[in-house]
Structure 1
Amino acid sequence: MWMYLGLLAALFLGLHNLCKKHAVQGNEVFPVLLGTIGSGFLFILPFFIGSVFFPEATKNLGFYINSIPWQTHGFIFIKSMIMAASWILAYQALKHLPITIVTPIRSAGPFFTFIGAIIIYNETPKFLQWIGFFLIIFSLILYSRIGKKEGIIFKRNKWIFAIIGATFLGASSGLYDKFLIQSLSLNPQTLQFWFCWYTILILIVILSITWFPYKAKRQAFKWRWTIIAVGILLQAADYFYFKALQDPDALIMLLSAIKRSQLIIAVVIGGIVFKEHNKRKKLVPLFGILLGVFLILYS
């Protein structure tokens, strides 16, 4: 069951990436990020209000947000800091790079998760899983060659390093999620609510220094409907992902790889919508990544 929940998370993440590309085009990254997280927070806020004033009804719906000790709040705040840094780097990269380059690099996340799962959680990969992960990495090398034809030199482009850093931090957060969900026994909606709250506080501090004091930046900001869509789609994806992690049999290394099937939406549909170049050539390494994911699932 947890694999199917992972595929649902991948579906919403693929749509989320398309909306995110539209939201950041020609826009300041920090206010867009605050808008998306804020929209997601408002989406789940009624569940928190229901948990306070109508606990029985909210429990019956399956969306009750539990009271948690301060120590657990501290653990969630750490996740918020990790993901805030990851998103800031990822949004900046997405603003300056084609989505058909950014999304496949993000697909290297399962490789980092794979290594972490072996070291931290003693998850044991099978032979086909090894082949699948190295197929993903090899396919990313092919993407780098295609990127050069679009004037994107991977070794010299700072936004490439930004998306690699975002990918590493995102993978670290994925490993941390397993600790939060399984070791601390947090349910998805409780983690999502407090994670959004602390991330909003972090972003407000950053914006109070980099954006709010500057009138020109505020006037240049363009509100788009996709900002709200990004927040809601991300909450839906996270909910199914965290539900999958609640299964004690769930392997974080495989779940992370399953989520990368979002590439079908991001590369194929995204390439058409945003009219990006070399779409056919990008299908070759895309096939390699999907084959790697398939081998992981098959094994």
Structure 2
Amino acid sequence: MWMYLGLLAALFLGLHNLCKKHAVQGNEVFPVLLGTIGSGFIFILPLFFSSVFLPEYSKASGFFIPEIPWEVHGFIFIKSAIMAASWILAYQALKHLPITIVTPIRSSGPFFTFIGAIFIYNERPNPLQWLGFFVIIFSMMLYSRIGKKEGINFKRNKWIFAIIAATFLGASSGLYDKYLIQSLDLNPQTLIFWFSFYVILILLVILSISWFPNPEKRKAFTWRWSIPAVGVLLLAADYFYFKALQDPEALIMLLSAIKRSQLIIAVVVGGLIFKEQNKRKKLVPLCGVLLGVFLILYS
């Protein structure tokens, strides 16, 4: 069941990436990021109030947010800091690079997750799952060659380094998620609520230094419908992802790989909407990603 929850997370992530590209094009990155996280936080805020004032109803509905000790708040804050750094780098890169390049590089995250899952959690997939995993990784490598044909030098472009760093931080956060969900026994809505809360605090500190005091930057910001859409879609993706992680049998390295099927939306639909180059050539490694996901699910 956790595999199919991973596919649902991938669906919402794919839609989230499309809206994110629309939100950051020609726009100020930091307020866009604050707007997306803030929108998701407002969407989940009623669950918190319901848990405080109507606890029995919240427990019956399965969306109860319990009180957690300060020590656990510290662990969640660490995740928030990691993901805030990852998102800042990723949004900046997405603003300057094609979505059909950014999304595949972000999708190489399973390689970093693979290393951590083997050495930290001692995960041991079966042979078919190994094959599916490496098919996905190989497909990701093909995208870098296609990127060079769009005038993007993967060795000299600083935004490429930014998206690689964002991917590494995101993979680290993914490994950390398994600890938060399984070892600290946090439910998805509790983790999402407090994680969003701390990310907003971090972004407000950054904006108070770099954006609020600057009138020119404030004027350059444009509010778009896609900003709250990004937040709500990310909220849905995180919920299904964390629900999948609640399964004791869930393998984080495979769940991370399954989420890469979001490429279908990013490459096919995103390529058409934003009129990016080499869409047909990008379908080849895309098929490789789908084959890898199929092998994992079939196993």
Shared fold, TM over 0.5: yes
The whole-number CA distance in structure 1 between the counterparts of 2:130 and 2:29 is 36
Instruction: Tell me whether 122-131 or 83-92 shows the greater mean CA deviation.
Output: 122-131
TM-score (norm 2): 0.98
- For 1:258-299, what per-residue CA distance to the aligned partner results, in whole angstroms no more than 9, with x for missing partners? 111111011100000111111001101111222222222233
Number of equivalent positions: 299
Q: Which amino acid aligns with 1:246?
A: Q
The whole-number CA distance in structure 2 between the counterparts of 1:173 and 1:215 is 34
Q: Which amino acid aligns with 2:117?
A: A
Query: Does the residue aligned with 2:137 lie in a helix, a strand or coil?
Result: helix
Match of 2:40 in 1: 40
Q: In 1, are the aligned partners of 2:136 and 2:257 still within 8 Å (CA)?
A: no
The whole-number CA distance in structure 1 between the counterparts of 2:128 and 2:156 is 34
Q: Structure 1 runs of 4+ off > 6 angstroms?
A: none
Match of 1:295 in 2: 295
List aligned pairs for 1:234-249, cutoff 5 A: 234-249=234-249
Summarize the Cα distance change of 1:3–1:140 in structure 2 as closer, same or farther, 3 Å threshold: closer
The whole-number CA distance in structure 2 between the counterparts of 1:57 and 1:286 is 44
The whole-number CA distance in structure 2 between the counterparts of 1:140 and 1:241 is 21
The whole-number CA distance in structure 2 between the counterparts of 1:234 and 1:210 is 25
- For 1:123-148, what per-residue CA distance to the aligned partner results, in whole angstroms no more than 9, with x for missing partners? 01233333333322322222111111
Q: Which amino acid aligns with 1:11?
A: L
The whole-number CA distance in structure 2 between the counterparts of 1:122 and 1:183 is 15
The whole-number CA distance in structure 1 between the counterparts of 2:143 and 2:242 is 30
Match of 1:269 in 2: 269
Query: Does the residue aligned with 1:121 lie in a helix, a strand or coil?
Result: coil
The whole-number CA distance in structure 2 between the counterparts of 1:137 and 1:12 is 22
The whole-number CA distance in structure 1 between the counterparts of 2:4 and 2:131 is 22
The whole-number CA distance in structure 1 between the counterparts of 2:222 and 2:12 is 24
Listed as ranges, the gaps of 5+ residues in structure 1 are none
Q: In 2, are the aligned partners of 1:146 and 1:278 still within 8 Å (CA)?
A: yes
Match of 1:12 in 2: 12
Deviation at 1:108, TM superposition (A): 0.7
Match of 2:199 in 1: 199
- For 1:67-102, what per-residue CA distance to the aligned partner results, in whole angstroms no more than 9, with x for missing partners? 000000000000000100110111111111111111
The whole-number CA distance in structure 2 between the counterparts of 1:54 and 1:187 is 18
Q: In 1, are the aligned partners of 2:83 and 2:170 still within 8 Å (CA)?
A: yes
Over the aligned positions, Cα root-mean-square deviation in angstroms equals 1.0
Q: Which amino acid aligns with 1:73?
A: H
Deviation at 1:251, TM superposition (A): 1.0
The whole-number CA distance in structure 2 between the counterparts of 1:45 and 1:227 is 18
Match of 2:215 in 1: 215
The whole-number CA distance in structure 2 between the counterparts of 1:140 and 1:7 is 18
Match of 1:84 in 2: 84
Query: Does the residue aligned with 1:123 lie in a helix, a strand or coil?
Result: coil
List aligned pairs for 1:157-196, cutoff 5 A: 157-196=157-196
Q: In 2, are the aligned partners of 1:109 and 1:256 still within 8 Å (CA)?
A: yes
- For 1:20-61, what per-residue CA distance to the aligned partner results, in whole angstroms no more than 9, with x for missing partners? 000000011111000000000000000001111111111111
Q: In 2, are the aligned partners of 1:254 and 1:297 still within 8 Å (CA)?
A: no
Aligned-pair identity in percent equals 83
TM-score (norm 1): 0.98
Deviation at 1:6, TM superposition (A): 1.0
Q: In 1, are the aligned partners of 2:12 and 2:234 still within 8 Å (CA)?
A: yes
The whole-number CA distance in structure 1 between the counterparts of 2:43 and 2:201 is 17
